[in-house]
Amino acid sequence: MSETVSRRDSPSEAAAASTGRRVLVVDDHPDVRAMFSLALSQAGMRVLTASDGHDALELIERDLQQAQEAGRRPTVALIVLDLMMPGLSGFDVLRTLRARFTELPPVLIISALDSRAHVQEGIALGAVEFVSKPIEIELLRHKVRTLIDAPPPPSFHSAPLRGHDVAVAEKTEGAQPLRTDKPAAPRKALWIG
């Protein structure tokens, strides 16, 4: 199941019993955190959760600093981030991380706050993809697997990207099936929103 991490726990302490990189799910709604965590855990992923922007920011900063000091990859391989949270919003978390670090794990925003301006702002702040809520479970798993397996994103302070190097971020409506060669998910599929 998921590992709930508080600001007092370091990612390495929370993960001491096992090794590997993790997905950090950041959402203020406990049901959404639980459903995302369960869906990803059942797909064989290790999941950390944070209930607000403050906890997420502290956990990510500590993980990145420890990784830099130890010369290793960060424990957090991907951040699944909601935008609408009390205190620090997802936008605030991204702004703060971008101001302090040149390289971050990929960030997948999953939010109902999905106007064109919000999507563009999230991508401009460093998110690699934006998906609208509600999201179908298999789409969530697919997006997370794809982003974890993707090559590392360029740092914020690297040279400008050439046209073919730009990662394509999309706004995917959660109610539409993922377009693949496979048939669409059965109608009984669980939606999260």
Length of the chain: 193
Band of the pLDDT at 33, cuts 50, 70, 90?
very high
pLDDT (tens digit, 9 = 90+) per residue, 95-133?
Answer: 999 998 888 899 999 999 999 999 999 999 999 999 999
Of 42-46, 76-80, 180-184, give the lowest mean pLDDT range. Answer: 180-184
pLDDT (tens digit, 9 = 90+) per residue, 145-171?
Answer: 999 988 765 554 433 333 333 333 344
Structure confidence at residue 165 (pLDDT)? 36
Who's near 73: CB < 8 A, 6+ residues apart? Answer: 21, 67
Cα dist from 139 to 142, 160, 189, whole Å: 5, 31, 11
- Please determine, for residue 185, whether its predicted confidence score (pLDDT) is greater than 60: no
Mean predicted confidence (pLDDT) in 13-30? 70
CB neighbours of residue 44 within 10 Å: 8
CA distance 144 to 85: 21
Residue with tokens 């607000």: 52
Structure confidence at residue 103 (pLDDT)? 83
- Give the distance from CA 74 to its chain's centroid: 14
Cis? peptide before 105, omega within 30° of 0: no
Structure confidence at residue 169 (pLDDT)? 38
Structure confidence at residue 149 (pLDDT)? 87
Q: Beta strands of the chain (E only): which ranges? A: 3-4, 22-26, 47-50, 76-81, 107-111, 129-132, 135-136, 171-172, 191-192
Q: Please state, rounded to an integer, the average pLDDT across all residues of the chain.
A: 77
**Structure tokens belonging to residue 175:** 């109610």
CA distance 76 to 64: 8
Whole-prediction pTM value?
A: 0.72
Cα dist from 96 to 14, 17, 93, whole Å: 24, 30, 5
CA distance 76 to 67: 10
Which has more pLDDT, 174 or 92?
A: 92
Helix or strand holding residue 124 (H, E): helix 116-124
- Please determine, for residue 174, whether its predicted confidence score (pLDDT) is greater than 50: no
